[in-house]
A and B are shown apart, each in its own frame.
Chain A
Amino acid sequence: MKRIGVFICWCGSNIAGTVDIDKVAAAAGTMNGVVYVDQNKYTCSEIGQAMIKDAIKEYKLDRVVIAACSPRMHENTFRKTVESAGLNPYYLEIANIREQCSWVHKDKEAGTAKAISLIRTAVAKAAMNEALFAVEMPITRRALVIGGGIAGIQAALDIADTGFEVDLVEREPSLGGRMAQLDKTFPTLDCSACILTPKMVDVAQHEKIRLFTYAEVEKVEGYLGNFTVTIRHRARSVDLQKCTGCGECLAKCPAKVASEFEEGLVQRRAIYTPFPQAVPNKPAIDRAHCRFFTTGKCKVCQKVCPADAIDYEMEDRLLTNGYGAIVVATGFDTHKLNDYGEYAYGKHPDVLTSLEFERLLNASGPTGGKILRPSDGKAPKTVAFIQCVGSRDKAKGNSYCAKICCMYTAKHAILLSEKVPGSKAFVFYIDVRTAGKDYEEFYTRAYEECGASYIKGNVSKVFPEGEKLLVRGVDVLSGALVELLVDMVVLAVSVDARADAKELAKKLAVTVNEHKFFTEAHPKLRPVDTQTAGIFLAGVCQGPKDIPETVAQASAAAVKVAAIFSKQSLLSNPTVAEVEQKLCSGDMSCMAVCPYGAISEQVVEERRGREMVTRKIARVNVALCQGCGACTVACRPGAINLKGFTNQQILAEVDAICL
């Protein structure tokens, strides 16, 4: 028989005002297993806690029920109290007689009756409480950052600056990501490269950062503090140790292919560095387009290379490393415009996406920073900017707002007026959204100082009209049909999650929303965490955002990582699922419902009669299990139970309530 002590708190008049404490105490004294009942004005006070400790020792209590405020308030306080008296902290049970009783019921009789019932329920559960032990888990103090755009760069630098090791994995041959493609940045018109490239160099030179470019995450196993990640280091065919980055090969390579970095506006060679400020500034061979790899003949780059750095034999290398935490910063894709035939994109060379236009603005871009029409190389005098292409469009595109388009279009309009004197921008919009520091002023500048005309309305069609483009739309404010002859059309293309975001989410055991953006643990209070402990998010992979927000989130993720690494060891949550081997049928229904991949198959050897048989059963990884208990219900033979919330405990509670 358990020796249960019940401690009833008055909480001043908060509880005692509505609940007859003496009556409750008398009733508690008659409950099964209760050997000691006491009351205190403030149980959470030092005196109140000392009383509990003394009573545990004096009356040899082995289970403790505290009837007081919500366990969400003081459960941890009282667990420590109980623990300091020599009991297991999980021997404590709390009856919530304040938030869920005295504060919500005015009638003293009803309140008292309910308090007695709640205490009886807690006593019934406490009698079945078992000692639970948190497991100490070691921490691998090295972080993995996936993605080498501004989010990944910032997160890596911030983690490394706290003194912890970081591995940064980037899929492309160079760091930089989307920000490297941009010309100027709103609302200050800073040159994007000027503020980004020093950070790229910092990453490459930081003694705590190992950089893996042309590499991807292949496999992720493990849990907070102890992830094991396999990285596929794709064969670059260029030995980075030997290569000096002289660029001889780039000029001589005969195979040409559309440049991804230049959004297909120009061609690059099969051996290439994506852009002039690349880090590392050393090329990679795109084997899918390399003449040697496709036809077996060529080897021009090898012939011209003065450093003997070209290695056609190089193979993909799989590197497996341990990490304590992971930051996901994989960025975004621009929306595919297949469904927007009405805008003549792909049919007419002078219809561009906003990112293509960005490259025209850039001094290292295909036109050397001059805005010129791809069709005839002339500077456009009139440009129509169409907003929300693929955004806020439930029918064909994304239902959400891509957030950055209003601002970058204002930037484009300003830059157009600067670069092409006498030019005119027309902006077709649904709404102009400029929430952000100095953003509204920047937008105002576009139409007040730079003469951009903003027309509220959608464009229904764009078609070629001689050398020009006819843009037909509606001005919804006047209701008039608008037809404009322009030299160029720029589509403010929406922001999509990466096409392969779901695959990565699966590898990481994190979730994505319906648009395939990674889901944060809480939309307001945990915007950087994922639901999987130890994995954090930074940048647009979590949802559309601009550069300052991305950087802020990346720094936040870095602090979260550093906070984990600064601990001596991690304590696991002991209220996890547990399998009773002899009952487990090996049916694995539990595995199918586990959101954390915490359940795996285990082959066990058992004696059956005279022979030994092997069979599979379920095994719970206590470090991965978060204790939701979904598996306990799915289990048909009732072999899996949740510690701290066992079937027996919950049934005992039901019975006590219904007594």
Chain B
Amino acid sequence: MPVVNERFEPLIVAFCCNWCSYAGADLAGISRMSYASNVRIIRVPCSSRVNPGFIIRAFQRGADGVLVAGCHPGDCHYHSGNFFTRRRLTVLKQMIEYLGIEPQRFQVRWISGSEGAKFAMVMNSVAEEIRLLGPNRKLRDVR
């Protein structure tokens, strides 16, 4: 078990689909729902744009957690993109575990543009989960 540092603030990179999760994040803002400030959002046109390589890179550069958020399966703005996301990232999640990284560090969530509250809740729960895991040291490259 990693040593839990009470004051540890994890850094979380979130890839958000422009059409749903990014809009959900905006809605959380418009509704003034506060959530953990650890998350940094990268806007992508579709969750299927997220190359598994981007996720690995984030871990290498020192991110403590990575989140990919897309439209609910079946609701993809581009018909079928999130089905590819789901398939690709399910495989990646297993690989990440194989690499020795706690699988909770990498999460995929479906958040629609109308789910501001869900966005805030997910950010809080993911931040809390990763905070408990402590810093990511496994893949972090020495720079």
Residues of A within 8 A of B (CB): 70-73, 96, 98-101, 103-107, 110-111, 113-114, 117-118, 121, 511, 531, 575, 593, 595-596, 626-630, 632-634, 642, 645, 647, 650-651, 653-655, 657-659
Q: Does B13 contact A (CB under 8 A)?
A: yes
- Please name the 9 residue pairs, one residue from A and one from B, whose CB atoms are nearest each other, closest first: A99-B29, A629-B49, A658-B61, A628-B78, A103-B29, A630-B48, A595-B79, A628-B46, A110-B37
A104 touches B44 (CB 8 A): no
Q: Does B45 contact A (CB under 8 A)?
A: yes
Total number of residue pairs linking A and B with CB closer than 8 Å = 130
B88 touches A658 (CB 8 A): no
Query: Within the complex, what minimum Cβ distance (angstroms) separates A328 from chain B?
Result: 16
7 contacts between A and B (CB under 8 A): A99-B26, A103-B29, A111-B37, A511-B79, A595-B79, A630-B78, A654-B63
Q: Does B96 contact A (CB under 8 A)?
A: no
Residues of B within 8 A of A (CB): 11, 13, 18, 22-23, 25-26, 28-30, 32-35, 37, 40-46, 48-54, 57-58, 61-63, 77-81, 84, 88, 120
B63 touches A657 (CB 8 A): yes
With A651-B57, A658-B61, A658-B62 as given contacts, are A629 and B45 in contact (CB-CB < 8 Å)? yes
B45 contacts which of A114, A118, A645 (Cβ < 8 Å)?
A645
A632 contacts which of B29, B49, B79 (Cβ < 8 Å)?
B49
Q: Which residues of A contact B34 (CB under 8 A)?
A: 104-106
With A628-B78, A633-B50, A651-B57 as given contacts, are A72 and B11 in contact (CB-CB < 8 Å)? no
Chain A facing B: main interface SS: helix
Residue with the highest number of chain A CB atoms closer than 10 Å, among B37, B44, B84: B37
With A658-B13, A658-B63 as given contacts, are A72 and B79 in contact (CB-CB < 8 Å)? no
CA distance A73 to B53 in the complex (A): 30
With A99-B29, A595-B80 as given contacts, are A642 and B61 in contact (CB-CB < 8 Å)? no
Residue with the highest number of chain B CB atoms closer than 10 Å, among A104, A650, A653: A104
Query: Within the complex, what minimum Cβ distance (angstroms) separates A278 from chain B?
Result: 39
B29 touches A627 (CB 8 A): no
B42 touches A629 (CB 8 A): no
B42 touches A121 (CB 8 A): yes
Q: Which residues of A contact B40 (CB under 8 A)?
A: 114, 117-118, 121, 657
CA distance A473 to B141 in the complex (A): 73
A650 touches B45 (CB 8 A): no
With A104-B34, A595-B78 as given contacts, are A629 and B29 in contact (CB-CB < 8 Å)? no
B84 touches A593 (CB 8 A): yes
A633 touches B78 (CB 8 A): no
Q: Which residues of B contact A121 (CB under 8 A)?
A: 40, 42
Residue with the highest number of chain A CB atoms closer than 10 Å, among B40, B61, B78, B81: B40
Q: Which residues of B contact A593 (CB under 8 A)?
A: 48, 80, 84
B33 touches A104 (CB 8 A): yes
